[in-house]
Structure 1
């Protein structure tokens, strides 16, 4: 499978605040490393990159203040697009969609945190807006705190891996094509 020539890499919420213990246990400790490999390959190929970060409006949030800062290996370089959001979707209130249209983009490659929230919401909305979306599933991660089973006392607690796998499974085939970082890099 070859990526569309004008595909854009969209990196979502690779921020320092996601290292805070409040999030709980996490799957895929290699997500940032895989995203960094993907970013390096994308930059080497001269591809367009956009960085999206969550700027929480709640002062106590791990994604406010210094927690909103990029992690070093995935920080934007001069000239790369940066969008700040206050909700889960990278398209709401950011200008991302207009920027993609100005660059005649039809396809996205997405990686980020967290799989069931901002990544999923952005992928679903991108597909609904008509973009072809590839999800770098191993350049994403989920936390156990993102699966609230309090609504049903009999529901089992989901592991971070189960949360991630479920989110990717719901996306693949309908909203995205889920692929590994290595497979995507081969097509860049």
Structure 2
């Protein structure tokens, strides 16, 4: 997918948010957290595969009450390492990340909320990671995200897993897998 497709997804999310804002409650917030990124591959030629820690910073909107829509815009940084053709590689990713989740509040009290959500996860590379010769990492990737969270008053805690559905590197048969833990603050 190209930048035009990503722009279409972001535009659709913004339009949906603006429609829902008129009839629903809206929470806006900021968040930051740590990532653990991996690049699983089915190729036997890749060895010593390991994930590495990274971080993310972002903003979110939560539109609705019990059933809600949560678009986000995040800066995400993570890396991985592996050996290919007897050479060690450590690609570093700096991405613009746009998850578009639909969720449900299992517990929905004023001071305590337990939430689950899922949806598509769009990523655009702001920097080209180093890749083995004759391979390259794509600028745009799409995936799916599964999130569980708790709100304690104005504070949020989220645990998330994002799995690439498109290959980040076709030549190496790699898809991203990112675990994330973040803390946030709701601005009403």
Task: Give yes or no for TM over 0.5.
Answer: no
Normalised by the size of structure 2, how large is the TM-score? Answer: 0.33
The structure with the largest helix share of the pair is: 1
Look at both structures and tell me which one has the larger radius of gyration over its CA atoms. 2
The structure with the largest strand share of the pair is: 2
